[in-house]
Amino acid sequence: MSDSNPSTGTLKLAVIPGDGIGQEVTAEALKVLEVAAPAGVKFEPTRYDLGAERYLATGEVLPDSVLGEIREHDAILLGAVGGKPNDPNLPPGILERGLLLKLRFELDHYVNLRPSRIFPGVTSPLANPGEVDFVVVREGTEGPYTGNGGALRVGTPAEVATEVSVNTAFGVERVVRDAFARAQRRPRKKLTLVHKTNVLVNAGSVWWRLFQEVAAEYPEVTTDYMHIDAAMIFMTTDPSRFDVIVTDNLFGDIITDLAAAITGGIGLAASGNVNPDRTAPSMFEPVHGSAPDIAGQQKADPTAAILSAALLLDHLGHAEAASVIEDAAIADLAAREAGSTRRTSEVGDAIAARVQG
Amino acid sequence: MSDSNPSTGTLKLAVIPGDGIGQEVTAEALKVLEVAAPAGVKFEPTRYDLGAERYLATGEVLPDSVLGEIREHDAILLGAVGGKPNDPNLPPGILERGLLLKLRFELDHYVNLRPSRIFPGVTSPLANPGEVDFVVVREGTEGPYTGNGGALRVGTPAEVATEVSVNTAFGVERVVRDAFARAQRRPRKKLTLVHKTNVLVNAGSVWWRLFQEVAAEYPEVTTDYMHIDAAMIFMTTDPSRFDVIVTDNLFGDIITDLAAAITGGIGLAASGNVNPDRTAPSMFEPVHGSAPDIAGQQKADPTAAILSAALLLDHLGHAEAASVIEDAAIADLAAREAGSTRRTSEVGDAIAARVQG
Ligand SMILES: CC(C)[C@H](C(=O)O)[C@@H](O)C(=O)O
Ligand SMILES: CC(C)[C@H](C(=O)O)[C@@H](O)C(=O)O
């Protein structure tokens, strides 16, 4: 993280548009950020071309020198990472693990923050979703995402492949603490742990134990536990019951896409990969992927990227400017006419105009 | 498996009602099975009291001698397993892993079959689900369910807990083959692999490779791949696109609860834990759990258990009798009056009467 003061002065942004629609939506998020900059704040964006194109051209995913440079920024704005599905020149997971997850792990983004709301004017595929406003605190540096595991006799009928989910008291406690603190600050003060303690008993018991221990320090927070499978049902039939959810890396990946789907689509879901200790820059990105099928066509909705930029501002201490962006995006959603399609840049322009107006 | 002829004569059923509402719904499934028995077939049910109550009273989960006896049956009918959540006398997972999963693993139930349909008269929480009729083929003997893994320095701030997902070419190929054969027999002939190959690259690549290899033998089957997170979105916004889904043990657990939720609730979701090689009896059970909160109150819907009994009959070669049960259950659903509540036994009686009528 740079030494520049996060409140005023120059804020250094590492911008990684990535692949596919990541390029288009990031341009709009930057456009909106520029106009939303609070008085006395100047953004200094540095663009890093990382992703499928660079890998295919050079074989490089995330050179150490680039990682070192990215570290010296105040925050990172990321679009989306991932090439064409089943491109024979792109080994599966190479970009996800070598770039996106590498950034999350190296920069210790242990709080993967994913808010879900049904905004006015947005329709949910659920018949009666109720008032939905919750946030998922997904652990970001452990679980089945560690890349532990391996394979033996690959490509033969005797192949054995393993994936190891690693869960430490250190890693679980810090994200659980963050989730309790967040629940405490919200009006409903409710925290739900989602796991699969009845099957994954080793991982489950460290999550369960630390959830109970930290709960004792937050007597005002109501707690609740749900298996990941049961959470699918409640999320679909009664999403308004959730306030804050804390969960492991993989369950969080799964449940936040479901949450995005029921709250009006992945085109609206923002996220922050947060390092609450501020030992490295946090990274903000839409939940959606690179969508190679619609890339370069100005069809993608940049709202999720723009809302991610609002989370970035908030993280840097500019809560007011963050709300201005959020309000502008919400107003834009409410004003959308059914059936009308705007280009990616038109949505960005419209939101930028509301921020300025 | 017994040597009795599965087509006629005496069919030996091991009945494990289990815990909570498992007791009530199993009674209704048995009631319907009795009246649905094809000419020349007699069911000989043997009840095994296994579950929370037995464990709490005796410390026994599944004695080897009992497992040996169960093995000698033609099929198993199971209710639900699981005690009160967080009962301090029930270590987490002891019944799930020691009884339910032990049966699935010991009896080599590698095809966990979970059909999903929106039946006439049943409302989905989705606004426009379309015509939904798909089946999930969930792998049942590998993945993160193997109980591999462990924990170090338990209960201390230095605790490390692991869960190991084990995936073998042997285990993946056989379930993928079963799924292709099923897809081939269905009108739409479509098979979707659901995994997370971009993160779980070791497990993902053995799944991906064998999916491709077997696909080459089924040129008429259209194939498709989806990450588990993307599958959440498609399942919520466009469930009618699915025909057969094949997936790993944990992803299958998660996606089938979502499927149940969108097709009218977990009270209707049936399942079979199938050993297609017939080296041991297959086991049929509702997808729902023991629901201790409503246990003993005759509030549970026995439809899922009854539809599971139909799957049992079908597995034993009595496809016609199976359809009679299914049609009766569907007719009962269509005739339900909004807002009316019937007791568990009343629903069972009504379906049994339709089977007989
Ligand atoms: C692209 C992929 C590695 C990533 C994940 O699994 O975390 C994505 O799905 C997400 O949710 O940010
Ligand atoms: C009870 C539990 C162990 C089980 C599972 O996870 O398989 C259940 O959720 C199911 O889907 O049958």
CATH code of the domain in which B209 resides = 3.40.718.10
Residues A216 and A135 in one domain: yes
- B143's torsion region: left (phi>0), alpha (psi -120 to 50) or beta? left
Residues A178 and A211 in one domain: yes
Q: Which of A178-182, A339-343, B24-28, B71-75 has the lowest mean pLDDT?
A: A339-343
Token pair for residue A247? 């969960």
For CA atoms A82, A83, A88, A89, the dihedral sign is: negative
Residues A97 and A14 in one domain: yes
Residue having the nearest C-alpha atom to atom 3 of ligand 1: A96
Count CB neighbours of B40 within 10 A: 9
| More confident position, A319 or A92 | A319
Is B215's Cβ below 8 Å from some Cβ in A?
Answer: no
Q: Choose from B238, B254, B263, B271 for mutation: most chain A CBs within 10 A.
A: B254
Rounded distance between C-alpha atoms, residue B322 and residue B303, angstroms: 14
Residues A74 and A146 in one domain: no
Confidence of residue B7 (pLDDT cuts 50, 70, 90): low
Q: What is the mean pLDDT of residues B52-63?
A: 95
| Among the bound ligands, the one closest to the CA of B197 | 1
Q: Which residues of B touch A125 (CB under 8 A)?
A: 126-128, 236-237
Residue having the nearest C-alpha atom to atom 5 of ligand 2: B253
Residues B134 and B236 in one domain: yes
Q: Which of A247, A263, A279 is the last residue of a domain?
A: A263
Domain extent, residue B249, equals: 124-263
Report the side by side order of strands in the sheet with B9-18.
B41-47, B9-18, B75-80, B282-286, B270-274, B111-117, B133-139, B244-247, B190-195, B222-227
Active site residue B218: no
Confidence of residue B340 (pLDDT cuts 50, 70, 90): confident
At residue B186, the pLDDT reads 98
Question: Is residue A130 predicted with pLDDT exceeding 70?
Answer: yes
**Residue B95: closest CA among B142, B60, B130:** B60
Confidence of residue A5 (pLDDT cuts 50, 70, 90): very low
Binding residue numbers of B for substrate: 104, 114, 138, 229
Residues A98 and A177 in one domain: no
Residues A144 and A256 in one domain: yes
* Mean confidence (pLDDT) of chain A: 95
Count CB neighbours of B174 within 10 A: 20
Ligand 1 center to B51 CA (angstroms): 38
Question: Is residue B1 predicted with pLDDT exceeding 80?
Answer: no
Q: What is the mean pLDDT of residues B321-346?
A: 94
Q: Which of B208, B241, B263 is the last residue of a domain?
A: B263
Rounded distance between C-alpha atoms, residue A104 and residue A67, angstroms: 11
Q: Choose from A148, A209, A229, A255 for mutation: most chain B CBs within 10 A.
A: A229
| Among the bound ligands, the one closest to the CA of B286 | 2
Whether B193 maps to a domain, the answer reads yes
Rounded distance between C-alpha atoms, residue B352 and residue B357, angstroms: 9
Confidence of residue B20 (pLDDT cuts 50, 70, 90): very high
Whether A275 maps to a domain, the answer reads no
At residue A7, the pLDDT reads 56
- CA-derived radius of gyration, chain A: 20
| More confident position, A66 or A265 | A66
Whether A257 maps to a domain, the answer reads yes
Question: Is residue A176 predicted with pLDDT exceeding 80?
Answer: yes
- Nearest 5°: CA angle at A204, between A198 and A209? 120
Residue having the nearest C-alpha atom to atom 9 of ligand 2: B253
At residue A3, the pLDDT reads 40
Binding-site residues, ligand 1, Cβ < 6 A: A 82, 96, 100-101, 253, 287, 289; B 198-199, 229
Whether B208 maps to a domain, the answer reads yes
| Among the bound ligands, the one closest to the CA of A284 | 1
- B111's torsion region: left (phi>0), alpha (psi -120 to 50) or beta? beta
Question: Is residue A234 predicted with pLDDT exceeding 50?
Answer: yes
Binding residue numbers of B for NAD(+): 289-301
| More confident position, B124 or A82 | B124
Token pair for residue B167? 């995936």
Number of domains, chain B: 2
Question: Is residue B162 predicted with pLDDT exceeding 90?
Answer: yes
Residues A176 and A236 in one domain: yes
At residue A274, the pLDDT reads 98
The label of the residue with tokens 């322009």 reads A349
Q: Which of B233, B263, B293 is the last residue of a domain?
A: B263
Q: What is the mean pLDDT of residues B320-333?
A: 97
Name the H helices within A289-357. 303-315, 319-335, 344-356
Q: Choose from A99, A163, A249 for mutation: most chain B CBs within 10 A.
A: A163
Distance, in angstroms, between A144 CA and closest chain B CA?
A: 8
Is B192's Cβ below 8 Å from some Cβ in A?
Answer: no
Whether A279 maps to a domain, the answer reads no
Q: Which residue of B has its CA nearest to A258?
A: B232
Whether A248 maps to a domain, the answer reads yes
Q: Which of A133-137, A287-291, B46-50, B165-169 has the lowest mean pLDDT?
A: A287-291
At residue A338, the pLDDT reads 82
A253 CA closest ligand 1 atom index: 11
At residue A340, the pLDDT reads 82
Q: Which of B84, B102, B218, B257 is catalytic?
A: B257
Q: Length of chain B in residues, anyone?
A: 357
pTM above 0.85, yes or no: yes
Is B229's Cβ below 8 Å from some Cβ in A?
Answer: yes
Confidence of residue B5 (pLDDT cuts 50, 70, 90): very low
Whether B255 maps to a domain, the answer reads yes
Question: Is residue A6 predicted with pLDDT exceeding 70?
Answer: no
Percent of chain B with pLDDT over 70: 98
Question: Is residue B117 predicted with pLDDT exceeding 90?
Answer: yes
Is B105's Cβ below 8 Å from some Cβ in A?
Answer: no
In chain A, what's the furthest Cα-to-Cα distance?
65
At residue B338, the pLDDT reads 81
Residues B129 and B105 in one domain: no
- B139's torsion region: left (phi>0), alpha (psi -120 to 50) or beta? beta
Distance, in angstroms, between B356 CA and closest chain A CA?
A: 34
Residues B71 and B194 in one domain: no
Q: For residue A241, give every residue at least 6 positions away whose Cβ sits within 8 Å of its Cβ, in sequence order, or none.
A: A234
Is A88's Cβ below 8 Å from some Cβ in B?
Answer: no
Confidence of residue B57 (pLDDT cuts 50, 70, 90): very high
At residue B86, the pLDDT reads 78
Residues B254 and B163 in one domain: yes
**Residue B247: closest CA among B132, B156, B139, B357:** B139
Whether A271 maps to a domain, the answer reads no
At residue A350, the pLDDT reads 98
Residues A99 and A26 in one domain: yes
Confidence of residue A81 (pLDDT cuts 50, 70, 90): very high
Question: Is residue B2 predicted with pLDDT exceeding 60?
Answer: no
